[in-house]
């Protein structure tokens, strides 16, 4: 009821606050017998770490993952896999002055209204640091998908107002123009958003449920639960609205004995169920709300105050969100792979 778990057959539960002792998760329902390479999981976490001083916080976290259980002789046992990342560079004192005010467009005010009692240190549970556990859980899901030849790739297709064509999966390959824009924002103490494009290939026809748990509904929820995500499209998305049915329908064709479609406005999903084509989606992220400039806001007792945060923050979190988007997508597909096993006699 508190929403710290995701999935039905494969369930990821995450825990931990930004400046508490540790962040981690438990993945339950992971089938036995899947080879688990801890180095792969660590490498996925490394993709989420601040990689570039231009974009990101200078918080120096190694994000070293410890796999606690559920793995024996390098294979999953069917027992839950728990993992933990100790927070090594927590600096709660940086946040002391934020204790009594509500930062604009953060969760400070809403968390207080919901729970009464708030851990103000770096956003507490509402911090983006929670996504670390999604990346670890998602890395495990990817190991499962590997055994089925399914792969998930996220790419940046826009930063702020700048489209990136072709989209890039490696933030090191962002065009110079984009880097210059980021640099300019950084100097101004400002921030921006972006769009991530997701592609899932190798998904067999038949995943997803026809009513509430349509594959696009579960993917949409997964993406919209990522901090700062504000928009989601599957296939043609908003652009499909303007099309005529005669243009939008994806004609079937037989290719090497298998049914395919010649276009893919459906984005690989029809009636909530995968049709075997590439699953294509887009996620829009708002600008980072923490600015390196003085802002006015209200204290918890309703008085105006000016403040400038001292914490370490990102100009644009979209590059770091790539493994989060991939991880969440992998969890959705893996969950539905298991669920589909129950569909027939």
Our finding on whether 274 is near its own copies (CB under 8 A) is yes
Our finding on whether 155 is near its own copies (CB under 8 A) is no
Residue 34 beta carbon to its own copies: minimum distance, rounded to whole angstroms: 5
Our finding on whether 152 is near its own copies (CB under 8 A) is no
Our finding on whether 308 is near its own copies (CB under 8 A) is no
325-344: which residues touch its own copies (CB under 8 A)? 338-344
SS3 annotation, 265-329: CCCCEECCEECCCCEEEEEEECCCCCCCCCEEEEECCCCEEEECCCCCCCCCCHHHHHHHHHHHH
Q: Which stretch binds its own copies (CB under 8 A): 37-45, 52-60, 168-176, 232-240?
A: 232-240
Question: b/e per residue, 195-209, with b = 16+ CB within 10 A?
Answer: bbbbbbeebebebbb
Residue 66 beta carbon to its own copies: minimum distance, rounded to whole angstroms: 7
175-194: which residues touch its own copies (CB under 8 A)? 185, 190-194
Q: Which stretch binds its own copies (CB under 8 A): 41-49, 51-59, 172-180, 222-230?
A: 222-230
Q: What's the Cα-to-Cα distance from 167 to each of 113, 154, 233, rounded to whole Å?
A: 40, 9, 16
Residue 4 or 52: the one with the smaller Cβ distance to its own copies is: 4
Residue listed under structure tokens 């796999």: 67
Which of 195, 324, 329, 333 is the binder for its own copies (CB under 8 A)?
A: 195
Judge whether 252 and 259 are in contact, CB under 8 Å.
yes
Instruction: Tell which residue, 66, 87, 74, has the closest CA to residue 36.
Output: 74
Our finding on whether 63 is near its own copies (CB under 8 A) is no
Our finding on whether 42 is near its own copies (CB under 8 A) is no
Residue 290 beta carbon to its own copies: minimum distance, rounded to whole angstroms: 8
Residue 175 beta carbon to its own copies: minimum distance, rounded to whole angstroms: 16
Contacts of 109 (CB under 8 A, 6+ apart): 102
Residue 224 beta carbon to its own copies: minimum distance, rounded to whole angstroms: 4
Q: Which stretch binds its own copies (CB under 8 A): 10-18, 45-53, 54-62, 172-180?
A: 10-18
Which of 46, 49, 52, 206 is the binder for its own copies (CB under 8 A)?
A: 206
Neighbour-count burial of 224, counting CB atoms closer than 10 A to its CB (0-12 exposed, 13-18 middle, 19+ buried): middle
Query: Interface mask (CB under 8 A) for its own copies, residues 106-145, using x and -?
Result: xxxxxx-xxxxxxx---xxxx---x-------------x-
Residue 35 beta carbon to its own copies: minimum distance, rounded to whole angstroms: 9
What is the spatial distance between Cα 222 and Cα 201, in angstroms, rounded to a whole number? 18
For residue 332, what are its two tokens? 């959705």
Coil vs helix vs strand at 92: helix
């Amino acid at each position: 009821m508190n929403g710290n778990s995701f999935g039905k057959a494969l369930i990821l539960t995450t825990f931990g606050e930004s400046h508490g002792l540790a962040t981690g998760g438990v993945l339950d329902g992971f089938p036995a017998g899947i080879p688990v390479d801890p180095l792969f999981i660590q490498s996925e976490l490394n993709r989420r770490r601040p990689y570039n001083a231009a974009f990101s916080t200078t918080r120096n976290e190694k994000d070293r993952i410890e796999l606690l259980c559920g793995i024996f002789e390098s294979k999953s046992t069917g027992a839950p896999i728990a993992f933990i990342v100790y927070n090594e560079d927590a600096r709660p004192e940086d946040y002391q002055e934020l204790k009594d005010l509500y930062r604009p467009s953060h969760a400070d005010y809403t968390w207080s209204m919901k729970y009464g009692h708030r851990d103000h240190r770096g956003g507490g549970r509402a911090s983006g640091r929670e996504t670390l556990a999604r990346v670890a859980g998602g890395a495990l899901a990817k190991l499962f998908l590997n055994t089925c030849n399914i792969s998930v790739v996220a790419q940046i297709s826009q930063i702020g107002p700048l489209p990136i064509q072709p989209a890039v999966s490696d933030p090191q390959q962002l065009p110079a123009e984009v880097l210059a824009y980021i640099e300019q924002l950084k100097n101004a103490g400002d921030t921006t958003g972006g769009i991530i494009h997701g592609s899932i290939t190798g998904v067999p026809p038949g995943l997803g449920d026809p009513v509430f748990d349509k594959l696009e509904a579960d993917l949409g929820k997964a993406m919209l639960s990522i901090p700062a995500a504000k928009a989601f499209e599957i296939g043609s998305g908003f652009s499909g609205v303007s099309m005529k049915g005669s243009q939008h329908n994806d004609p079937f064709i037989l290719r090497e004995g298998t049914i395919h479609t010649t276009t893919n406005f459906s984005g690989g999903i029809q009636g909530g169920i995968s049709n075997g084509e590439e699953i294509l989606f887009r996620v829009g992220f708002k600008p980072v709300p923490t600015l390196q400039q003085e802002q006015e806001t209200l204290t918890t007792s309703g008085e105006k105050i000016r403040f400038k945060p001292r914490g370490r923050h990102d100009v644009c979190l979209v590059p770091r969100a790539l493994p989060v988007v991939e991880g969440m997508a992998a969890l959705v597909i893996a969950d539905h792979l298991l669920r589909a096993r129950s569909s027939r006699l």
